[in-house]
């Protein structure tokens, strides 16, 4: 399947908690072209996982509109949204292990992720070995998660995310616990998936380096930033950004 476009218009998400309401997203506007790779960079608590969950249809926004491909997500039933998530939308949740069954082999994990698509007419599924090749885990079908390095585990989670051949892949913090080599392998795997399948890939991350490299494929010099539940594309001059850019400058001062 070719890449799906994504459009968010004034998306708001409020968590109702006993301690009070939390505004996790405060009016997100975002347009992503089919086949684009985009990284959204934001600090902890800025709403990254919330945005991924809304795009994946795991939650409904409090307000605003989300379009994925030709679908207006707000107009779909829960069953339709769930069907989309097993076919046209792939999601890799924060923390690789959450996406994988520990006692099953990688082959079986991929097969389980393909089950729904396998029952949908018109979808031609890739062989699990081909999917493992794509993410840089050739011949690892019999392996279990415990046998893999952290970087390979994250790529196994990616394999599950792309198993059904989605047009949109959503990835939450793919590199947060990885060393540089592990991070490079994960980024390379996502680049390969995008190049070979034209899958639209949205990554949320706190890692500026991931933002620079993953976002640049879409032609953006700076990855858009998510700050306090809002997306800012080229916001260097804006008052609300001063603190964050101050922090990122500090991080990149050579030691």
Residues forming the site for ligand ATP (CB under 6 A): 15, 17, 22, 24, 42, 44-50, 94, 206
Please choose which of ligand ATP, Mg ion, none residue 15 contacts, taking the beta carbon within 5 to 8 angstroms, the exact cut-off set by kind.
ligand ATP
- Write out the binding residues for Mg ion, residues 34-93 only, by CB under 5 A: 48-49
Please choose which of ligand ATP, Mg ion, none residue 211 contacts, taking the beta carbon within 5 to 8 angstroms, the exact cut-off set by kind.
none
C-beta closer to ligand ATP: residue 60 or 116: 60
C-beta closer to Mg ion: residue 83 or 244: 244
- Closest-approach residue to Mg ion (CB): 49
Q: With H, G, I as helix, E, B as strand and everything else as coil, classify residue 171.
A: strand
Please choose which of ligand ATP, Mg ion, none residue 74 contacts, taking the beta carbon within 5 to 8 angstroms, the exact cut-off set by kind.
none
* CA-wise closest residue to 199 among 153, 131, 110, 115: 131
C-beta closer to Mg ion: residue 49 or 62: 49
Please choose which of Mg ion, ligand ATP, none residue 138 contacts, taking the beta carbon within 5 to 8 angstroms, the exact cut-off set by kind.
none
Alpha helices in the chain (DSSP H): 48-55, 78-87, 106-118, 128-134, 150-162, 180-197, 208-216, 242-252
* CA-wise closest residue to 161 among 223, 54, 233, 89: 89
> What whole-number distance in Å separates Cα of residue 1 and Cα of residue 96?
24
> What whole-number distance in Å separates Cα of residue 55 and Cα of residue 214?
19
Please choose which of ligand ATP, Mg ion, none residue 42 contacts, taking the beta carbon within 5 to 8 angstroms, the exact cut-off set by kind.
ligand ATP
What secondary structure letter does DSSP report for 62? S
Instruction: In angstroms, give the least distance from the CB of 150 to ligand ATP.
Output: 17
Query: Does the CA dihedral 32-233-41-76 come out positive or negative?
Result: negative
Residue 176 touches Mg ion, criterion: CB under 5 A: no
C-beta closer to ligand ATP: residue 14 or 76: 14
* Phi-psi domain of 232 (left: phi exceeds 0; alpha: psi -120 through 50; beta: other): beta
The token duo for 146 is: 């415990």
Instruction: In angstroms, give the least distance from the CB of 92 to Mg ion.
Output: 12
Report whether 100 contacts 157 (CB < 8 A).
Answer: yes
Q: Would you tell me which residues interact with Mg ion (CB under 5 A)?
A: 48-49, 94
């Amino acid at each position: 399947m070719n890449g799906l476009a994504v459009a968010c218009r004034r998306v708001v998400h409020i968590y109702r908690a006993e301690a009070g309401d939390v505004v996790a997203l405060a009016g997100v506007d975002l347009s992503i072209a089919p086949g684009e790779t985009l990284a959204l960079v934001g600090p902890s608590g800025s709403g990254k996982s919330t945005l991924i969950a809304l795009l994946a249809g795991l939650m409904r926004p409090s307000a605003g509109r989300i379009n994925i491909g030709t679908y207006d997500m707000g107009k779909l039933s829960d069953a339709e949204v769930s069907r989309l998530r097993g076919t046209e939308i792939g999601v890799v949740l924060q923390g690789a292990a959450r996406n994988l069954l520990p006692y099953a082999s990688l082959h079986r994990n991929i097969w389980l992720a393909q089950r729904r698509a396998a029952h949908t007419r018109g979808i031609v599924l890739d062989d699990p070995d081909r999917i493992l090749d794509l993410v840089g885990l050739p011949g690892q079908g019999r392996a279990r998660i415990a046998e893999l390095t952290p970087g390979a585990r994250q790529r196994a989670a990616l394999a599950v995310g792309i198993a059904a051949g989605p047009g949109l892949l959503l990835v939450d913090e793919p590199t947060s616990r990885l060393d540089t080599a592990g991070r490079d392998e994960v980024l390379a795997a996502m680049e390969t998936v995008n190049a070979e399948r034209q899958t639209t890939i949205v990554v949320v991350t706190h890692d500026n380096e991931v933002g620079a490299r993953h976002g640049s494929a879409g032609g953006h010099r700076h990855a858009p930033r998510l700050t306090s539940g809002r997306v800012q594309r080229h916001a260097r001059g804006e008052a609300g950004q001063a603190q964050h850019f101050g922090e990122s400058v500090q991080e990149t001062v050579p030691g």
